[in-house]
Structure 1
Amino acid sequence: MLAAVLADAADPGGKGFLAQALMPQYAPFFIGGIGLYLVHRGRRDRLAWAVALAGWLAGWLAGWSSPPCTAGRGCRPGRCSR
């Protein structure tokens, strides 16, 4: 996730190689997926549950629970692609 954040900071436009290769917009879901795998391995492991919940929460707080806005109609302020 650190690499994704650094790639996003290095290329604010999001059109560079690092942003395309690391896909920082999906990093929270990757972390959540790793957490779910750890939960699958040991269901009583609290750290695994914490990693899975942190990934879910990071994705939810970043606003990825709704589809991205592509038009001016129905866009939330600050989330439009235009």
Structure 2
Amino acid sequence: MAFDEKKKITLKSSDDEIFESILFDLILAANYLNIKSLLNLTCEVVADMIKGKTPEEIHKTFNIMNDFTPEEEEEICKENQWAFE
């Protein structure tokens, strides 16, 4: 198999938290050290983790707390309606 071929990695749910922590540390390190190829690869992984998910699913995946009030959320949706079309 060639070096540039992509392999899919299947993680157990118990590995998710550790993987995400390492992934974000890698992104920060790659950015700080200006390693473009590693930065691109790790950002691609995050993009793949987000693709096709609802905002609620993304919040759950990355343990993001939604601290907007319903009114604030509605206002944000109105301001960015183009993104929901």
TM-score, L = length of structure 2: 0.36
TM-score, L = length of structure 1: 0.37
